[in-house]
Structure 1
């Protein structure tokens, strides 16, 4: 254990805004001996965010408002993130309060982002000087895509989704519309219908082409099995193209669909039954 007798509190409370991500292309390459799958994808951060407040307390406590979070509070990824850090650093108990706005089971990595932001917030709050690499290590223990949110910038991802390389892809200034139909698709359900297969063309090569070419070339392998099961997902994707999207796809293992546009669009009367977020990409 790395123990500090004293620590510096930078800000109390610490308030951060864990953001979502989208997958631009997602290939299920092969099943691993450990039961996980190797993938290739581009993770891109988006502005749809939760709010996370951490304050020093006399006991470790987690509370949440907003979207209901299933499961036992003690197993929440934010609490597990705290335990990962406190195992190595002598920090006091904290109260973690989460305002949950990113839909759950939506392919947006919201829970993973909350965990990663907990790690980085504790690092800042107590001035621990934890290196980026060590923060990545903590995050990888919590989930396959948690580590991305430590970096939180567009990356080509491979392995279980926890290995990263730089990618020359800049969508700054474009607009994104995200449509979540309110259904939870579990990872188990999503992977049950896929057949791993290495792509013929490297995703990085495809994403290096103009966005106008992506529609027929940049695929999310989960769409093949989930669209027949949930036809309204395909309908949402088609509607995004009808609204003028340069590219539209499902994010992760679903259920959120997104469209990338050249400018802000009027969504009056569109997708009224669903949860919608739109904003500019950075």
Structure 2
């Protein structure tokens, strides 16, 4: 076999991969970049909730999605990620992929990007080759490279410049009111106001986490989204009323989160919120220091 070409799988059984959600412990949009991109400064943290994938060797590329009504072809980021890897590795075969979708769609948790990154990592194990996964990930989407890192990281540029960080344990509650928010819309609403923001004070955020104090962070996209989706503001209010601190919208929304003092408090608050808001998607979660296969 030639270097850089993978024709036969190194693994003959299905690989199961967890695709973690993420939150943004603050999201600053510094301004516009050429090509319609935005300059970001955000602290991203993978969580212990997410989607799952099964990836098996196959003659052709095929994708099945369970748990959500999503396309099974090139309109799906998982499919595009798989095709990108197979092409780059010059694989003369394909892969059978089953995506078990458990995160809400268009929710600011990075689900699609995480699914794509997990696909790249699984295929790199299935068909090893000299392929630059970071380059492929950057082409697929701004958040995809982060999920290759598998730990908290400061993301800069369009999200591709990553500095891994170690953070204190995180206990939090997530609430999604059932509203899908397009990231493109959220950024467009910010562009209309030109209310770009300064870099986050990462050291102050880390110090507040260590001390258990409210976090000195913000989300540059939040004001524009809340102006059009008051139910997201109601979710933030509900988190505060449940005794949690530092409520914030994650990414472009619509999922919001707030921090708890302990896992027990997070579990109790999530259960109480679920009883009060049965139509919402609510989870207690913890931060992950690294991805696990």
Task: Give TM-score, length-normalised by structure 2.
Answer: 0.86
Q: By percentage of residues, which structure has more helix? A: 2
Partner secondary structure for residue 147 of structure 1 = helix
The aligned counterpart of 1:262 is 261
The answer to whether the 8 Å contact 1:180/1:255 transfers is: yes
| Offset at residue 3 of structure 1 (A) | 4.6
The aligned counterpart of 1:88 is 88
Unaligned runs of 5+ in 2: 289-293
Do residues 238 (structure 1) and 234 (structure 2) align?
Answer: no
Question: What are the Cα deviations for residues 204-244 of structure 1, in whole angstroms up to 9, with x where unaligned?
Answer: 133133245545x3101111111122112112112212222
| Closer, same or farther: CA 190–78 of 1 in aligned 2, 3 Å | same
The answer to whether the 8 Å contact 1:14/1:55 transfers is: yes
* 1:223-234 to 2 correspondences below 5 Å: 223-234=222-233
The aligned counterpart of 1:10 is 11
| Closer, same or farther: CA 122–221 of 1 in aligned 2, 3 Å | same
Tell me how far apart the structure 2 counterparts of residues 86 and 244 of structure 1 sit (CA, whole Å).
48
| Offset at residue 196 of structure 1 (A) | 4.4
Q: Which of 173, 179, 183 is equivalent to 1:177? A: 173
Do residues 274 (structure 1) and 280 (structure 2) align?
Answer: yes
The answer to whether the 8 Å contact 1:56/1:94 transfers is: yes
Partner secondary structure for residue 209 of structure 1 = helix
The answer to whether the 8 Å contact 2:23/2:44 transfers is: yes
Task: Give TM-score, length-normalised by structure 1.
Answer: 0.90
Give the total of aligned pairs: 274
Tell me how far apart the structure 2 counterparts of residues 213 and 164 of structure 1 sit (CA, whole Å).
26
Partner secondary structure for residue 207 of structure 2 = coil
The answer to whether the 8 Å contact 1:53/1:98 transfers is: yes
| Closer, same or farther: CA 10–251 of 1 in aligned 2, 3 Å | same
Do residues 42 (structure 1) and 43 (structure 2) align?
Answer: yes
The answer to whether the 8 Å contact 1:23/1:43 transfers is: yes
RMSD: 2.1
Q: Which runs of 4+ in 1 moved over 6 A?
A: none
